Amino acid sequence: MESDQEIIKYIGKFVNLTNDEAIQFASKFKEVKFKKRQLIIQPNFIAKHRYFIVHGAVRAYVIGNDGQERSVQLAVDQWWISDYNSYILQQPASMFVTAAEDTIALQISFEDEQVLKATNHKFETFFRIIAERGAASMQRRIISAITMTAEERYELFIDKYPHLYSRFPQYVIASYLGMTTEFLSKIRNNKLKKN
């Protein structure tokens, strides 16, 4: 399958696999397509899969006590997404995961992932590395959440992920950055005036 090449290329960045190993690894992934707005994971159900995005855009969000959506993770091509807490600990999800564009993804089930990890030390290494990198990236996000003002967070985001900005509606970006749509709109407007 064509998408298989994507995940093979991806894992190849982290561990060197033989041809057979690559095929074995890819065999546990199944191509799935989601239409824009389609629900992928919902609260209270256990997330059975994690998804590697081949092409498209997906976001994970929670609904706060006030009924407002807050984006927890945004993912586009070559990124992973799931309700991590639910998937890893196999506990009920707290998040919605939906497609923000028509999306092609590769899905792996929790059980198949366990099998892969147990089968081959290299596969285990791969999943360890992506977990570590995910943790490091979340730590950076926590730091920006607790040290920066809304405007600084916006600037950092634009700086680090310029390509993400255009692929999600503004209210999604705003909630990802921990502010209201209205306030993000005002920040952008102030910036224009300054420059």
Q: What residues line the site for a second copy (CB under 8 A)?
A: 62, 64-65, 70, 72-73, 84-85, 88-89, 94, 117, 121, 124-125, 127-128, 131-136, 138-143, 145-148, 152, 175, 178
Binding mask 54-83 for DNA (x = CB under 7 A): ------------x-x---------------
Residue 1 or 43 with smaller CB distance to a second copy: 43
* 111 binding DNA? (CB under 7 A): no
Smallest distance, a second copy to C-beta of residue 103, A = 21
Least CB distance from residue 90 to DNA, whole Å?
A: 32
- Secondary structure in 3-state letters for 23-54: HHHHHCCEEEEECCCCEEECCCCECCEEEEEE
Q: In what order do the strands lie in the sheet with 80-81?
A: 30-34, 103-109, 49-55, 80-81
Q: Which is nearer to DNA, 11 or 177 (CB)?
A: 177
- Please tell me the distance from the alpha carbon of residue 55 to that of residue 33, in angstroms, as a whole number: 10
Q: What is the CA radius of gyration of the chain?
A: 18
Tokens 């984006």, residue located:
71
Q: Which of 45, 138, 169, 191 binds DNA (CB under 7 A)?
A: 169
Contact set for DNA, span 135-154 (CB under 7 A): 149-151
Residue 38 contacts DNA per CB under 7 A: no
Q: Helix, strand or coil for residue 192?
A: helix
Stretch (H or E) spanning 163: helix 162-165
* Cα distances (angstroms) measured from residue 148 to each of 136, 155, 189: 18, 10, 19
Cβ-based nearer residue to DNA, 56 or 123: 56
Shortest Cβ 20–a second copy spacing (Å): 18
Whichever of 4 and 155 has its CB closer to DNA, that residue is: 155
Query: Is there a contact between 77 and 48 (Cβ–Cβ < 8 Å)?
Result: no
What is the distance between the alpha carbons of residues 40 and 60, in angstroms, rounded to a whole number?
Answer: 9
Q: How many residues at the interface with DNA, by CB under 7 A?
A: 19
Q: Where do contacts with DNA occur on this chain (CB under 7 A)?
A: 66, 68, 149-151, 169-171, 178-186, 188-189
